[in-house]
Amino acid sequence: VQTKLPSVGTTIFTVMSALAVEKNAVNLGQGFPDFGCDPKLLDAVTAAMAAGHNQYPPMPGILPLREAIAAKVETLYGHRYDPASEITITAGATQAIITAILAVVHAGDEVIVLEPCYDSYAPNIELAGGTVVRVPLTPGSFRPDFDKIAAAITPRTRAIVVNTPHNPSATVWTEAEMRRLEALLAPTDMLVISDEVYEHMVYDGARHESAARFPGLAARSFIVSSFGKTYHVTGWKVGYVAAPAPLTAEFRKVHQFNVFTVNTPMQHALATYMADPAPYLELPAFYQHKRDLFAEGLAKTRLKLLPSAGTYFQCVDIREVSDLGEADFCQWLTREIGVAAIPLSAFYAEGFDQRVVRFCFAKKDETLRTALERLARL
């Protein structure tokens, strides 16, 4: 067949997880928790199934879940989305992002991504017939460079994809940066795909700056989040998109034909479970403990820590430890040391190697300790 995505292979997350299993390595590569979710959430699924919630839900998702999301977003970020016309339940953030892109990107449109970025964005844009315009985040700090973003905007720029807290760099955009983005886009008709899947993983007292907080951004944004990240259930693949009604209408035109809707019992369970804000309000402290435990151990190695202000990722510079390139280092680390990591080059167009790798610390403390014992050999 003539491939539609010539530069795409199997995602690095799948490749590294398979290698970790094969080599019996501690898997700090692909981002997912190795601990269970709250048993109350599981009870809610069983209850939903027993109550007969096992047939197709409405196409945009069940209303009680959309209402719970609207209430939460309004409380946290001060913007009211109409559950009927502005919130859609998706099959994880992945389907939310590709659906938003397919819904608004026309052939020949340009879409800006800030590199390094999550690996699905560029192929999604290409599948829509769009052109990926890669603007680098500032080397070293990974902060947005608004002069470079401004210079990349042309009359054909349809949208920008923004991700805070940021995978893989673990940076968190400040209020001032969000305001710069809002001001930069004000004279344009550009849309924003705001990937906020790590919204509840922000540390050291900082706060998540959702695009929903900024009227000029909310009016042009698809805000994407994922219950998989927030409630430790990445395998459920349930997320959502919040966007103004005209954008949601376009989103649903595609959504109804690429997935139609999302599994029913999990939606009921999530709607019930969301009534209690404690699980997501407690998440920063829960993960900050793990970040600190992991960082303290890493500080005893010659790996150089980069700041981790949000997400469940910790990046390290490998220069002092190895002469290998990132990708080879991750292979070697998995095979010889027994710890899997992800090379940052996976988040760039081919060929960029800054000798930095990403670890995921969404693991039991004992898993992190085992990994640290092994990494102590470096």
Chain residues binding ligand GLN by CB under 6 A are 11, 13, 30-31, 167
CB of 95 to ligand PMP, least distance (A): 7
Cα(360)–Cα(114) distance, integer angstroms = 21
CA dihedral 124, 129, 133, 134 (to 10 degrees): 30
Cα 268 from Cα 271, distance rounded (Å)? 5
Cβ proximity to ligand PMP: between 94 and 345 the closer is 94
**Cβ 346 to ligand GLN shortest distance, Å:** 9
Residues that bind ligand PMP (CB under 6 A): 31, 92-94, 118, 163, 167, 195, 197, 226, 228, 234, 237, 239
Q: Residue 44 binds what, of ligand GLN, ligand PMP, none (CB under 5 to 8 Å, by partner type)? A: none
Shortest gap between Cβ of 150 and ligand GLN (angstroms)? 28
Between 118 and 203, name the residue whose CB sits nearer to ligand PMP.
118
Reported in sequence order, the residue ranges of the chain that DSSP labels E, i.e. its strands, are: 26-27, 87-90, 110-115, 131-136, 157-163, 191-195, 221-226, 239-242, 304-305, 313-317, 339-340, 342-343, 356-360
Which residue has the CB atom at the shortest distance from ligand PMP? 92
Q: How far is the CB of 361 from ligand GLN (least distance, A)?
A: 12
- C-beta of 336: minimal distance to ligand PMP in Å? 26
Largest Cα–Cα separation, the chain: 58
What minimum distance in Å lies between the beta carbon of 195 and ligand PMP? 5
Q: Which does 11 bind (CB under 5 to 8 A by kind): ligand GLN, ligand PMP, none?
A: ligand GLN
In whole angstroms, give the CA distance from residue 292 to residue 304: 15
Cis omega before residue 343 (within 30°)?
A: no
Q: How far is CA 83 from the centre of its chain?
A: 23
- Residue 163 binding target from ligand GLN, ligand PMP, none, CB below 5 to 8 Å by type: ligand PMP
Please answer whether residues 263 and 54 qualify as being in contact, where contact means their C-beta atoms are separated by less than 8 angstroms.
no
Q: Which is nearer to ligand PMP, 88 or 94 (CB)?
A: 94
**CA distance to 21, 193, 196, 218, 283, per residue, from 79 (Å):** 44, 17, 15, 8, 22
Nearer to ligand GLN by C-beta: 158 or 291?
291
Could you say which of ligand GLN, ligand PMP, none residue 93 binds, taking C-beta under 5 to 8 angstroms by partner kind?
ligand PMP
